[in-house]
A and B are shown apart, each in its own frame.
Chain A
Amino acid sequence: MRTIYLDNNATTAVDPEVREALWPYLTEYYGNASSMHEFGGALRHRIEEARGQAAALLGCEAGEVIFTSGGTESDNTAIRGVLAAQPRKRHLITTRVEHPAVLSACRQMQREGYRLTELGVDGSGRLDLEELRGALTDETALVSVMWANNETGVLFPIEEIGSMARSRGALVHTDAVQAAGKLAIDLARLPVDLLSVSGHKLHAPKGVGLLYVRRGTRVQPLMLGGHQEFGRRAGTENVAGIAALGKACELSRRRLVEETARVGRLRDRLEEGLLRDCLDARVNGDRSARLANTTNISFEYVEGEAILLMLDRLGVCASSGSACTSGSLEPSHVLRAMGVPFTAVHGSIRFSLSRFTTEEEIDFVIGEMPGIIGRLREISMFRPERDATGEGPRERRPGLSAPRR
């Protein structure tokens, strides 16, 4: 059975060109870049080439790129490292919809005695910048706000946020794990001090990422034990991963404009098709400021895990904000922060596309979803009460009441 992979915000396929770039370092060139012999030492050039490729994608200097093991390490290093480097400032600000890598790290700092402000979002997943303005104090060491939300694709206005934070003397970190490779990034002119990128979200393999640290920003390293990465991240370099990430950055930069436009058209086609053919469906998140590859749709009256199981049987990969898919009983913290009604959170499905998504795949999903949703709605006890003429939902409340005869 073929796989239709529409879960690219979870991870992406390694691009064939990236695979080629990485292969030599898993076979012939296995040296240690820190060695004094040519066999290992020559690898330094490949690492620096990758640093340049990454810097070109981000619009920064090569010396501002630190390779890490991935987005989570980058986020943790940024948050912990910045706070440790300015011990007198005891306040940090983040949002309620961050990826757990940021949210958990911030909450840990709170347990360790820092004051934490978590900014809320409105029903479309947007921040209130006035709330940020009110939260900033001279005590604020760091503002960590994601660029693009992994669940909804909603974009935060990083430039405005950065300027506001800087005006109060705070440093600015953004988790750009979902944004990198999908948005034009020009750090030379952005008021951002630290930025996290994960390799496997942009067609490099898992286990490699980077942290951008603006020149002159003090960050205490998380990893100790070596001089690698300018003394900011100890540990023998993952040469194969770094070469792959460099190549992936280069590909993303070259293809960004054309790819974003094409993926955006496919996403819109999918979204329009699903909203048209599956009644009582709604898009979660601000459609006017969103990643081109992401759509998060709630299908009323049905539960997300059941939808995923039916899609999975057809080879279609997606994800859901339902509690039943999380391993805990907690539904999506992002959708809950947006005030999405509970049943709509449980019935939410995220489709995230990539450069490898085809129109034929999108049309297959548009064709199959109404049947899946219809079948599950037949089983569901919640349903719209349609009027006698069958003209459509009049009353959206479920017809569920206690047993009474």
Chain B
Amino acid sequence: MWDYTDKVKEHFFRPRNVGTIEGADGVGVGGSLACGDALKLMFKLGPDGRIAEVKFQTFGCGSAIASASALTELIKGKTLAEAERITNKDVAEYLGGLPEQKMHCSVMGREALEAAIENYRTGGKGGRQLEGRVVCTCFGVTEKEIERVVRENGLATVEQVTNYCKAGGGCGGCHGEIEEIIGGVRGERGPAAAAAPPAAAAAAAAPSKKALTNIQKIQLIQQVLDQEVRPALQADGGDLELIDVEGNRVVVALRGMCAQCQAAGFTIADVVQAKLREFVSGELTVEEQK
């Protein structure tokens, strides 16, 4: 039994601002990528540039619902600049604290908020972008995200990082890297901190600058999928297959666990497309073969 504060319980049993907004100004999604909990946040600005209305929907546990509810209460009436300064710590404090293993729920809220603001600023084009190198392939957590939770919450151990953003909670293969990131943020950067970027990133960096032939593009897409996407899906018993590339339209099919997964739409749009745009071309769109 989790030790939830009364405030957490209250926001779980009576969550504020549940739902969707017709014609929202910004919409963002947060949460772990391949599976697990997820949060969708949307807002509408008033004439004064302040957040007039905010709504959320979440697939998550009690503390995920409470964290989302708390976040919406915190940002209501704020300007976007003010809202951006709200950290996961503020959410947790508002709720009188969260169990350590549940801190990732508050981080998920902040992620969704950032994505929604980004979405607004880019006129609806930008969503949640995967910034930087993916360190934890099991849960799709990047170096930047890990650095941020470490910095904002003063974390010192891998276990804490897992509690805050899930990184390192799967196969455990990235524990060494997480330690280095912690060391780096805490000003004690280890000698191996300048880890090499993933092979696909290095390979993709150069050719993506010049125009690709169609064959080169297909090969590069396949390479990025093999190195950057499929390992994370395979870790969860799923897989993905490249079906076709037609101009900038990439068609893929999900296999294994992913084929049945409710979060598949999310995986396709958010992970696969983001990866291909990052490493191949910003104009690609990814579709799932029906």
A309 to B1, CA, bound (A): 9
Q: Is the CB of B37 within 8 A of A380?
A: no
Q: Separation in Å of the A337 CB from the closest CB of chain B?
A: 10
A402 touches B257 (CB 8 A): no
Which chain B residues lie closer than 8 Å to A306 at the CB level?
A: 12, 60-62, 64-65
Output the nearest chain A residue to B262 by Cβ-Cβ distance: A343
Any B CB within 8 A of the CB of A313:
yes
Q: How far is the CA of A399 from the CA of B40 in the complex (A)?
A: 12
The interface residues of chain B lying within 8 Å CB-to-CB of A310 are: 13
* Residues from 3 to 21 in B contacting A, C-beta threshold 8 Å: 9, 12-13, 15, 18-19
Q: Using Cβ atoms and an 8 Å threshold, which residues of chain B touch A344?
A: 262
How far is A305 from B58 in the complex, measured between Cα atoms in Å?
Answer: 13
Known: A313-B13, A346-B36, A379-B65. A397 touches B264 (CB 8 A): yes
Cβ–Cβ contact B39 & A381, under 8 A: yes
Residue of B nearest to A405 (CB): B124
Q: Which residues of B contact A339 (CB under 8 A)?
A: 237, 257, 260
Cβ distance B217 to chain A, nearest Cβ, rounded Å = 22
Provide the A124-154 mask, 1 if CB < 8 A to any CB of B, else 0.
0000000000000000000000000000000
A329-B166, A397-B262 known; A403 and B119 CB under 8 Å?
yes
Structural contact, B28 and A398, CB atoms closer than 8 A: no
With A342-B236, A402-B269 as given contacts, are A303 and B170 in contact (CB-CB < 8 Å)?
Answer: no
A302 to chain B, nearest CB (A): 7
Tell me, yes or no, whether A327 is within 8 Å of chain B by CB: yes
B38 within 8 A of partner (CB): yes
A74 at interface (Cβ–Cβ under 8 A)? Answer: no
Chain B positions within 8 Å of A327 at CB level = 101
Do B270 and A324 touch across chains, with their CB atoms under 8 A apart? Answer: no
Is B162's CB within 8 Å of the partner chain A?
A: yes
Contacts A300-B262, A313-B13, A342-B262 known; A305 to B166 CB distance under 8 Å? no
Interface size class of B (residues with CB under 8 A): 35 or more
A400 within 8 A of B: yes
A329 & B169 in contact (Cβ 8 Å cutoff): yes
- Contact of B27 with A by CB under 8 A: yes
Instruction: Tell whether B115 is near chain A: CB-to-CB under 8 Å.
Output: yes
A277 at the interface (CB under 8 A from B): no
Least CB distance, A34 to chain B, in whole angstroms? 40
Measured CB to CB, the closest approach of chain A to B170, in angstroms, equals 7
Pick the residue among A329, A382, A404, A405 that contacts B59 (CB under 8 A): A382
The complex places the Cα of A396 from the Cα of B82 at a distance, in Å, of: 39
Chain A contact residues: helix, strand, loop or mixed: loop
Judge whether B37 and A309 touch: CB under 8 Å: no
Q: B252 on the interface (CB 8 Å rule)?
A: no
CB-contact partner of B265 in A309, A380, A401, under 8 A: A401
**Cβ 8 A contact of B237, one of A336, A381, A402:** A336
A68 within 8 A of B: no
**Interface residue? B128 (CB, 8 A):** yes
B29 within 8 A of A: yes
Residues of B within 8 A of A378 (CB): 18-19
A contact residues, total (Cβ < 8 Å): 39
For chain A, residues 19 to 67, give those with C-beta under 8 angstroms from any C-beta of chain B: none
Q: How far is the CA of A235 from the CA of B38 in the complex (A)?
A: 51
Digitize B90-111: 1 where CB-to-A-CB distance is under 8 Å, 0 elsewhere.
Answer: 0000000000011000000000
Whether A309 contacts B62 in the complex (CB less than 8 A), given A342-B261, A397-B265, comes out as yes
A residues within 8 A CB of B101? 327-328
B27 near A341 with CB under 8 A, answer no
CA distance A197 to B95 in the complex (A): 44
- Residue among A342, A399, A402 with max Cβ neighbours from chain B (10 Å): A402
Q: How many Å from the CB of A238 to the closest CB on chain B?
A: 28
Residue numbers in A under 8 Å from B39 (CB-CB)? 381
Q: B15 to A341, Cβ gap below 8 A? A: no
The answer, yes or no, to whether B140 is at the interface (CB within 8 Å) is no
Known: A329-B169, A346-B36. A402 touches B128 (CB 8 A): yes
| Interface flag for B35 (CB, 8 Å) | yes
B137-160 with Cβ < 8 A to chain A: 139
CA distance A302 to B115 in the complex (A): 23
Chain A residues within an 8 Å CB radius of B281: none
Contact call B61/A324, Cβ cutoff below 8 A: yes
Q: Which residues of B contact A328 (CB under 8 A)?
A: 101, 169
Are A342 and B36 in contact, with the CB atoms below 8 A?
A: yes
Q: How far is the CB of A286 from chain B (nearest CB, A)?
A: 19
A325 CB, nearest partner CB in chain B, Å: 8
CB neighbours of B37 from chain A (8 A) = 303, 324, 346
From known contacts A403-B115, A404-B124, infer whether A398 and B61 are also in contact, taking CB-CB under 8 Å: no
Across-interface contacts of A404 in B (CB, < 8 A): 124, 127, 269
Are A303 and B262 also in contact (CB < 8 A) when A381-B39, A402-B270, A403-B119 are? no
For residue A202, CB closer than 8 A to chain B, the reply is: no
B273 CB within 8 Å of chain A = yes
Chain A residue, CB-CB nearest to B31: A381
B19 proximity list for chain A (CB < 8 A): 378
Name 20 interchain pairs, CB-CB below 8 A, sorted by A: A303-B59, A324-B61, A325-B61, A328-B169, A329-B162, A341-B257, A341-B261, A342-B263, A343-B261, A379-B15, A381-B40, A381-B59, A397-B264, A400-B29, A402-B266, A402-B270, A402-B273, A403-B116, A403-B128, A404-B127
A-B interface, 8 closest residue pairs, ranked by CB to CB distance from nearest? A324-B61, A405-B124, A402-B269, A381-B57, A343-B262, A305-B61, A329-B169, A403-B27
